[in-house]
Structure 1
Amino acid sequence: MTVRPCVFVTRPQPQADEWVTRLEALGQPAAALPLLAIEPVPVDDPALQAAWAALPATRLVMFVSPNAVASFMAGRPTGWIWPDGLLAGATGPGTVAALRAAGVPDAAIAAPRSDAAQFDAETLWQHRLQQEAWAGRRVLVVRATEGRDWLSQTLREHGAQVQPLAAYRRCPPRWTPAQVERLQCALADPAAWAWLFSSSEAIAQLPALLAAHGLVAQGEGLPPALLAVPALATHPRIAASAVAAGFARVQQALPDPEVVVQALGGRAA
């Protein structure tokens, strides 16, 4: 009988718990183990408030993640309604869902097609944005303090006036004793566990997090037992980061719970 491994969902909270709920509803054992935490800027941050004030003159607000949506929408003025003619950009289904939950109309959401081979800025550009006339148009990119700049640069090359807004920062998470115990179980029995990676930066944080919780010595790197745990990555760049980090069994899977369940269901524990 094929037994599905329990998958570590490494997204920040609250997305990690949301994914665990969706996976478990499909019969897939899962456990939240965030490798990054999100710290939004205060709702009265001057740059955030200035961005809201400038929206009537903006063509596109690009949200790089669900966390960008949550952090930006926290500063929404009372009674503010998404106006006609303002696009809300999203690279993946999680961000699309966050925009819908925040009340952004479907007609205003610019995202890759649902049948896209992968969800990223390049696909968004090809599927939705490249046909727009961007010369002189204002674009706001809601992001973390650091991030990938491919889409911003591409929009600038097409004449857009791009303004980045750092609406949150990524920081180390605080693991609970139960989460540390699950990692110890994975070290003892790698075949019973799997990783789900949705961020290259999160993978890079893992060695320091293990050391901070006493699971490895400082500077030791990732132990062979954890590197033997199968890893799913939601994008080719993330898969490449996992391989570079030493993970031996890396597979790509779209950021869709059903796709993840199918990928994990074929592994025997």
Structure 2
Amino acid sequence: MKTVLITRPPGQAAQLAELIRVALPAAHVLQIPLLTILPNEDPREAERLREQLKKTDLAVIVSPNAVECGMRMLAGSWPKEVPIAIVGMGSQRALLHHGIDQASGYQIIAPQGQEDSEGLWAALQALKWPMQDQQVLFLKGVGGRVWLGEQFVMHGAHVYPINAYQRVTLSSEASLWDKLATLEPSQTCCLMTSSEAARHWAQVLQKKPWGAPWFEHVQMIASHPRIMAAIEDLGFRKVSLAGSGDEAILAATSAWYKNDSLS
């Protein structure tokens, strides 16, 4: 039986898992959350967020995690006078969950097609969004979206990052790893949507006595060219690019399931 590994954090894999189960009912779908999202619970940071919003010209919210954890920190309504820039449809759905959408009077800027940092930057450039001396709030995870923040700084904006969450890696002693030891790598594909998760994946496999064949035989499917490059640098031999979004990942997974290899 072929196995599909979904490596997203807990709470973020359910929709993709259901899509795959419907499309590939004979496949074994296993969730192995390589990262867990921990919201920032520091009340001082929450107060800094509320104060910064009073003087923010544009808020960049980099992910659905940043939406959920940022709204939790805010503990109130998002001010309609502060435009929001997002990277993809996942963030748009997360905002809608909090009643934040264009129809409700909020200004939301999103990429047209390419759902990543480059796509958002292109959308802002197409709008001729002013950058010089703008106060730009970045709601993100610890260490995230460095390139995007650099673009704002290079164009004269003042960037104020607030870490809404941090990522914690899955312990190498977690029982989930034992399930992988029973799988055949050549009959497994691993869906990877984070470079950080990919690095942790490789580090743990290197320590496991059964891990070496995975680098040679598992089919790795990446959601972004940067993630694909990171996976290849880590030594995995069979790597393919799906593109961002669940539908693109589903299409690549289905292609692997039917054709055995995408490499």
Instruction: Report 1:49-198 matches (<5 A).
Output: 49-78=47-76, 80=77, 82-106=78-102, 107-113=106-112, 116=113, 118-129=114-125, 131-174=128-171, 177=175, 179-186=176-183, 189-198=184-193
2:24 corresponding residue in structure 1: 27
Aligned length: 251
- RCO (CA 8 Å, sep 6+): is it higher in 1 or 2? 1
Instruction: Report 1:8-19 matches (<5 A).
Output: 8-19=5-16
Distance 1:51 1:226, change over 3 A: same
Structure 1 residues not aligned, in runs of 5+: none
Q: Whole-Å Cα distance in 2 between the matches of residues 77 and 200 of structure 1?
A: 31
Identity within the alignment, %: 29
Distance 1:45 1:22, change over 3 A: farther
Q: Whole-Å Cα distance in 1 between the matches of residues 165 and 86 of structure 2?
A: 17
- TM-score normalized by the length of structure 1: 0.83
Q: Whole-Å Cα distance in 2 between the matches of residues 89 and 31 of structure 1?
A: 33
Distance 1:195 1:100, change over 3 A: same
Q: Is the 8 A contact 1:26 1:258 kept in 2?
A: no
**How well do the aligned residues superpose, as a CA RMSD in angstroms?**
2.4
Structure 2 counterpart SS, 1:74: helix
Residue by residue over 1:212-259, the C-alpha shift from the partner in whole angstroms, topping out at 9 and shown as x without a partner, is: 7xx339xxxx51235411111011110011111111111111223332
Structure 1 counterpart SS, 2:67: helix
Deviation at residue 21 of structure 1 after TM alignment: 2.5
Q: Is the 8 A contact 1:136 1:160 kept in 2?
A: yes
Deviation at residue 127 of structure 1 after TM alignment: 1.8
Distance 1:95 1:234, change over 3 A: same
Structure 2 residues not aligned, in runs of 5+: none
Q: Whole-Å Cα distance in 1 between the matches of residues 20 and 83 of structure 2?
A: 31
2:44 corresponding residue in structure 1: 46
Q: Is the 8 A contact 1:63 1:141 kept in 2?
A: yes
- TM-score normalized by the length of structure 2: 0.85
